[in-house]
Structure 1
Amino acid sequence: WPLMAFLGVTLGLLARVAADQGMFEGLAGASAAELDPELGLPLLLRTILPAGLMGLMLSVYFSAILSTADSCLMAASGNLLTDILARVTRVPQGTKGMLRLSQWLTLALGAVAILIAAMMENVLDLMLSSYAFMVSGLLVPLVAAVFGGRRNARAAIGAMLGGGFTTIALGEAPFALPYGLDANVFGIAMAAIIFLSIDRLMPVGGTPLVNGGISTS
């Protein structure tokens, strides 16, 4: 994977140089400053590679993208089924029923993903938003579980939702944040407040860790 990471960065740099040199003027219909960064790699491949090799290269990238999307959808449907629905509702116990429900959940999550992607004009912005939501929601519960010596499911879920949505809301806010801080700072702070508050008010769900591992008592 390091080779693929460096390859993507290198090709992006080459595409930037090619755009500055005017290689894409007749293709994209815009200057290098106005060119969509996501079009850099396809235009570079179209310019320097023959038709057959260009198609092969693009098929490799699209197959990697589809494989990643497929894995994410299956993981999301599995988590939704086993971690949420199985705890709050009665789900089919047989293998066939579980498989059918998982397929419907995958279809629904895929439709939601398509709607979100249709509303986002830039893939990078969507990735940054998802990473910001994940960091703001998971950091506090993870640190509390590893270094604090206790787990609290209610507090963790509240911190994940509160911190993540706070970051997304402030990131899309039309006003500037105080002191020029990133929205993640406020999201993490909100997650910490929610986690500590719920852990103090409802400590029943807390389970102590014994010798670095989860207690089974």
Structure 2
Amino acid sequence: MNLIDLFGVLIYFAVLIVIGYRSVKKVSSSSDFAVAGNRIIWPILFATLAASFLGGGASMGRAGKSFEDGYVFMFAASAFPIATVLAGLYIAPRLKRYTNAHTVGDIMAHHFGAGARLFTGIFSLIFCVGILGAQALAVGTVFHAILGIDVSTGIITGMAVVLIYSTVGGMWAVIQTDVVQFLMLAIFLPLTMLMGIHELGGPVALVERLPEAHFSLMGDYSLGMFLSIFIAFLLGETLVPPYTQRALSAPDSRHARIGYSVAGGFGFLFYFVSATIGLVALVMYPGISPDQAMPTLIRDILPVGLTGLVLASLLAVVMSTADSYLNSAAVIFVSDIYKPFINPQVSESRRLWIERLVNLLIGIGAIIFALYATSIIDALLLSYSLWAPTILLPFVFAVLFDLRCSRSAIAAMLAGATVTIAWKWGPFDLEVLTGLTALIAGVVANVVVFILTYSMFREIPETAVSAEPK
């Protein structure tokens, strides 16, 4: 890499660290660390939420899958922005009824009791670490493609910066860096796509040089495969802890609704950009690894000076997701596990320092996960199977219909997790035998057990948190 480009990347890293340092002054309580004091208006909410979910999977991962399979993967994965728009319209505004809530566990405890909070905290924590590991792998992939350094070294270097600013600055630092990162990705990745298409001779030339299946709606996918991927993205990352935290950070339901819905709409545009970059890379560099499609195009096609800025924007989309999941995992551990079940009398100042310490430790754990992961998308899909079959649907049912039954939520979470694990890692290959993925089987088990148990054991939850409806 040219020294000018390297200097641009170093400046970007320095800006993130400065933001983290300046944010320390704004973090005086756990509420500041977790939800930025509930002062995030909708334009900022839109930017930080979009930056959070448009990470390594939405950029390099989708570019890589489009490199392999064509636009069909983009169509299947568009289920996620659809789910985000729907959540913005119908779920996010309702979350502001819960005052003082910082996590999904706070809301689950209000409806389903202390036991539901504990299981929600455990499953959420595992899920966040898995997604964080996928983003750490994406950071290493960028460094390897652009700088030529070992992927493992890239993972450690990039995640060290994320750990610094997210640990000291909490959600304030995460949101401020997310806004910077969103502006960079919104400008430079579409610019990379346009320059790549121009290099090939225009859109018509790109289409003519692609395999026919790469430009079709279904590609080489069977209907079952398409629906499996669609459902995985429809449910797998919807209302996950970092995104729910964003809605809880808004000052009121109006800001939560607009910010969330607009972010979902932006997702459609960004998915198209990522997928098209993957197709341009396929035409220009057919022999490279799919996950290298986007970084390789950036490295080879852009002029000196611009390459460093676009590399920084690519790192931005990955790091913005990584910092969100890192912050969320720390808040989940303290709010849903440590304070209610280990030390209920913990002081506010001690709670804040524990969140910072846990933030650091979880980041180190995610780095270790990333060092052994093999594919960004595979890591994401594996993590998705830990969210949708356990927490998502009981959470949605509770918020939409004000349901209260501790047995139904706990039974549903355990049933969904058990079926998912048996389907994916049991002695028989049930995915092949039945044609159902582990995620879908787990979701079905989760819903059936929830409905049956709720119909038999409707009751008031054992305990309720301070998050009462306004």
Whether the TM-score (by the shorter chain) exceeds 0.5 is yes
Do the aligned partners of 2:407 and 2:457 also contact (CA within 8 Å) in 1?
no
2:340 is equivalent to residue 74 of structure 1: no
Q: Measure, in 2, the Cα distance between the counterparts of 1:165 and 1:48.
A: 48
1:181 to 436, 453, 469: 436
Distance 1:206 1:150 in 2: 14
Pair 1:10 & 2:264 matched: no
What is the aligned counterpart of 1:134 among 374, 387, 392?
387
Question: Does the CA contact (< 8 Å) of 1:92 and 1:98 recur in 2?
Answer: no
Q: What percentage of aligned pairs have identical amino acids?
A: 30
Alpha-carbon distance in structure 1 between the residues aligned to 2:371 and 2:422: 19
Whether the 8 Å contact between 2:327 and 2:359 is mirrored in structure 1 is yes
Greater displacement, 187-196 / 128-137: 187-196
Provide the aligned C-alpha RMSD in A.
3.0
How many Å apart are 1:88 and its aligned residue? 1.0
Q: How far apart are 1:215 and its partner, in Å?
A: 7.8
Structure 2 unaligned blocks of 5 or more: 1-265
Contact 2:424 2:430 survives alignment (8 Å) = no
User: Which piece of structure 1 moves more, 146-155 or 100-109?
Assistant: 146-155
In the TM superposition, residue 156 of structure 1 has moved relative to its aligned partner by 2.1
Structure number with bigger Rg: 1
More strand by share: 1
Decide whether aligned partners of structure 1 residues 203 and 91 sit closer, same or farther in structure 2, where only a CA change above 3 A counts.
closer
C-alpha distance in structure 2 between counterparts of 1:52 and 1:183, whole Å = 46
Q: Counterpart in 2 of 1:55?
A: 308
* Larger displacement relative to structure 2 (164-173 or 2-11): 164-173
Between the two structures, name the one with larger relative contact order (CA 8 Å, sep ≥ 6). 2
Task: Indicate how the Cα distance of structure 1 residues 36 and 151 shifts in structure 2: closer, same or farther if over 3 A, else same.
Answer: farther
What code does the residue aligned with 2:439 have? N
* Distance in structure 2 (CA, Å) of the matches to 1:148 and 1:94: 35
**Structure 1 residue 86, shift from structure 2 partner:** 1.9
1:162-213 superposed Cα distances (whole Å, 9 cap, x missing partner): 4245325523456243331121222113323543565446845289xxxxxx
Residue 39 and residue 92 in structure 1: after superposition, are their counterparts in 2 closer, same or farther (change >3 A)? farther
Q: Distance in 1 between matches of 2:344 and 2:358?
A: 12
**More moved, 134-143 vs 93-102:** 134-143
Listed one character per residue, the Cα deviations across residues 49-103 of structure 1 (whole Å, up to 9, x for unaligned) are 1343222111111122112211111112112211222221215643321111101
The answer to whether 1:19 aligns with 2:285 is yes
User: Which stretch of the first structure deviates more once superposed, 79-88 or 133-142?
Assistant: 133-142
Moved more, 140-149 or 110-119: 140-149
Give the whole-Å Cα distance in 1 for the aligned partners of 2:390 and 2:360: 25
Range with greater deviation from structure 2 (65-74 or 143-152)? 143-152
TM-score, normalised to structure 2, is 0.37
Deviations 1:98-146 (A, max 9, x none): 1111012112221222222222100111111222322222343145435
Tell me if the contact between 1:151 and 1:205 (Cα under 8 Å) persists in the aligned partners.
Answer: yes
Structure 1 match to 2:461: 205
Which residue of structure 2 lines up, in the alignment, with residue 125 of structure 1?
378
Please, which runs of 5 or more residues in structure 1 have no aligned partner?
Answer: 21-31, 208-213
Paired residues, number: 197
Please report the TM-score for the alignment, with normalisation by the length of structure 1: 0.74
The answer to whether the Cα contact below 8 Å between 2:419 and 2:442 also exists between their aligned partners in 1 is yes
